[in-house]
Amino acid sequence: MASSLFQNPTFLQPPPPTSSAARRSYFPVRCGGPRSQRGPLVKGRVLSIEAIQAIQTLKRLHRTNPPDLSHALSPTLTRLLKSDLVAALRELIRQQNCALAMRVFSTLRTEYGADLTHHAEMAKALGNCGMLEELDNLIVELEEGGEIDCGDYKGLVNLIKAVIGAKRRESMVRVYGLMKKCGWGSVVVPDEYVVQVLVNGFKSFDEIELAKEVQDECNRAFANFSRAKLDKLKI
């Protein structure tokens, strides 16, 4: 028996593939028809149910335009958490619905306070929508608030860029004055990139003297802060 197996090695080989296995093939499957217009998901943009419902309510009220629109909108917005207000604000900005975005921003500023990043986002949106008078009013209200965080370099430079991009010279001067009032250059070390954007912005407005003033103040501030560090090391 063993010799017969040895003489017929094909006995140990696996059987040839069947015809059904040979006919097996794979085809790509595409989900969704050509009529599907849904765009890709945007990473990081998550809206809660409350934020979505608030946006829908805002749009419905804005369409019907009741006599006291502000009073009608107030309950919808004031009940939202800060995170939901910010999400609703950014979604309306993304949709370029600046009129409703301004109402959300106003509630955010009143209920929780709006930082420089929120102001920068709103200013950029208003500039893109051509609502330049509203942008100027936004800066005036920021100035009247009397205080900004000059250490928030990212928010500050984005606000400056938004104002410069909208070509609002007077608003840019207001922002710079508010920066100095809040300790920029005296209490807060100037950021070199902020200085560069400021200088280039004033030059674009043909405000050469202001551009030179910014650069000179920056140089003095760097010298003073460096001297203070040296004195501290000596002590």
- Distances from the Cα of 145 to the Cαs of 82, 149, 160, 171, 181, in angstroms? 20, 12, 17, 15, 12
Confidence class of residue 18 from pLDDT cuts 50, 70 and 90? Answer: low
Token look-up 């006599």 returns: 67
- Distances from the Cα of 96 to the Cαs of 90, 99, 122, 222, in angstroms? 10, 9, 11, 41
Count the residues in the chain. 235
The verdict on pTM exceeding 0.85 is no
Question: What does the pLDDT look like over 116-131, one tens digit per residue?
Answer: 999 999 999 999 999 9
Q: Mind spelling out the 3-state secondary structure of 102-120?
A: HHHHHHHHHHCCCCHHHHH
Alpha helix stretches (DSSP H) within 8-66? 19-22, 49-64
**pLDDT of 227 above 90:** no
